[in-house]
């Protein structure tokens, strides 16, 4: 059925049903993991949502597996992001035992998809509101501009550099403290449990060249592939390797590869946290050319451009910095 006017975009409930059906159909491959509560659920257990991760891996193959984590719909009105990742997860699972890459990837890696990172906000966007932030009503209370920008609330370099707002009604309001929002803190805690800290001795030390795993946050719009740091123009210790992989993914989707700070500073973002606090190679995609993208554009442009980029990323996720620059 989908969002009113956009049948190609499953609602929060429909996205959860699709994921649960996948778990029912592939019990050896798929799990549905509750990682925390949304702001509204904490405020009132009758309302709001659970934050749910769709985990895919062959549960019968043991070992420490390289980890993929991706999140989508952290900005509520960015419609195309959750459907793209839902489709990718479905394609992976459907390919098991049929497609060589899907089978190998699910035997040897773990995939964690937080399909709807901001369900309270997404619900408002589904009702037609141009909603970006979460639904936190403690600031800018009662207004349709209330809430915290979850992509400014993460604990690495939070509020450091003019890349977020301290005003409650602003669309980039960073919140009262780093990780203050239940959605952000649930993500921080979960990411810390699935990834090892791969940094050297601190922010200035590079993660090793054989750093493993990959982190994605999907947004719209502007047709960009972005890598850390975004908080300011400081070059990341692994800047060259991050750029190399960013450019390769951009080859697949045709987007512009950029260091995240190229257009403007953004502090307290998800990708700077994943990279800066844990040394995980981290990327943000900005899909398409508007928030409320038509289904035609989604199906004929966003899916065919980005699914191949995601498959490529999955194939290199075990050692993202060691991907050769070209054929050997």
Catalytic positions are 286
E strand segments, the chain: 30-37, 50-56, 67-72, 110-114, 214-219, 224-227, 256-259, 282-286
Interface map 37-76 toward ligand 0X9 (x if CB under 6 A): --------------------------------------x-
Based on the shown chain and the rule CB under 6 A, indicate whether residue 188 belongs to the binding site for ligand 0X9. Answer: no
Q: Is 107 exposed, middle or buried (CB count within 10 Å of its CB: 0-12, 13-18, 19+)?
A: middle
- Using the rule CB under 6 A, which residue among 269, 280, 314, 317 binds ligand 0X9? 269
Interface map 142-161 toward ligand 0X9 (x if CB under 6 A): ---------x----------
> How far is Cα 227 from Cα 283, in angstroms, rounded to an integer?
5
Q: Which two tokens stand for residue 319?
A: 């050692």
CB 215 within 8 A of CB 281: yes
Q: Which two tokens stand for residue 291?
A: 């928030």
> Considering CB distances under 5 to 8 angstroms, the limit depending on partner class, which of Zn ion, ligand 0X9, none binds residue 271?
ligand 0X9
For 53, how many CA atoms within 13 A lie in the half-sphere containing its CB? 22
Contacting ligand 0X9 within 214-243 (CB under 6 A): 219, 226, 230
What's the min distance (Å) between Cβ of 256 and ligand 0X9?
13
- Considering the complex, state which of residue 40 and residue 78 has its C-beta at the smaller distance from ligand 0X9: 78
Based on the shown chain and the rule CB under 6 A, indicate whether residue 260 belongs to the binding site for ligand 0X9. Answer: yes
Contacting Zn ion within 19-78 (CB under 5 A): 75, 78
Based on the shown chain and the rule CB under 5 A, indicate whether residue 152 belongs to the binding site for Zn ion. Answer: no
Q: Give first-to-last CA distance, the chain, whole Å.
A: 47
Q: Is 204 exposed, middle or buried (CB count within 10 Å of its CB: 0-12, 13-18, 19+)?
A: exposed
Residue 200: which residues within 8 A CB-CB, separation 6 or more?
A: 206, 207, 208, 237, 279
Based on the shown chain and the rule CB under 6 A, indicate whether residue 183 belongs to the binding site for ligand 0X9. Answer: no
Interface map 227-256 toward Zn ion (x if CB under 5 A): ------------------------------
Q: Which spans of this chain sit near ligand 0X9 (rule: CB under 6 A)?
A: 75, 78, 151, 219, 226, 230, 260, 266, 269, 271-272, 284, 286
């Amino acid at each position: 059925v989908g969002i009113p006017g956009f049948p190609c975009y499953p609602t929060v409930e429909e996205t959860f049903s699709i994921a649960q059906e996948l778990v029912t159909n592939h019990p050896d491959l798929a799990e549905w993991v509750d990682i925390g509560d949304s702001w509204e659920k904490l405020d009132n257990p009758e309302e709001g949502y659970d934050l749910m991760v769709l985990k895919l891996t062959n549960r019968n193959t043991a070992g420490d597996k390289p980890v993929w984590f991706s999140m989508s719909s952290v900005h509520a009105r960015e419609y195309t992001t959750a459907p793209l990742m839902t489709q990718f997860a479905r394609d992976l699972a459907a390919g098991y035992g049929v497609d060589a890459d899907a089978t190998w990837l699910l035997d040897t890696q773990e995939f964690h998809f937080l399909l709807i990172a901001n369900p309270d906000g997404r619900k408002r966007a589904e009702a037609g509101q141009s909603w970006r932030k979460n639904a936190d009503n403690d600031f800018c209370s009662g207004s349709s501009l209330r809430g915290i920008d979850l992509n400014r609330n993460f604990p690495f370099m939070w509020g450091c550099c003019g890349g977020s707002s301290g005003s409650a009604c602003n669309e980039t309001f960073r919140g009262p403290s780093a990780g203050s929002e239940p959605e952000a803190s649930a993500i921080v805690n979960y990411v810390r449990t699935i990834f090892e800290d791969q940094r050297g001795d601190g922010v200035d030390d590079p993660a090793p060249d054989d750093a493993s795993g990959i982190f994605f946050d999907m947004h719209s719009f502007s047709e960009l592939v972005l890598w850390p740091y975004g908080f300011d123009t400081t070059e990341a210790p692994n800047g060259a390797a991050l750029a190399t992989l960013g450019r390769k993914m951009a080859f697949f989707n045709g987007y512009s590869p950029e260091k995240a700070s190229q257009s403007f500073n953004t502090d307290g973002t998800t990708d700077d946290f994943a990279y800066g606090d844990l040394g995980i190679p981290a990327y943000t995609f900005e899909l398409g050319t508007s928030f409320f993208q038509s289904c035609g554009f989604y199906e004929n442009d966003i899916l065919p451009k980005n699914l191949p980029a995601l498959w490529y990323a999955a194939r290199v996720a075990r050692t993202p910095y060691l991907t050769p620059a070209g054929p050997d």
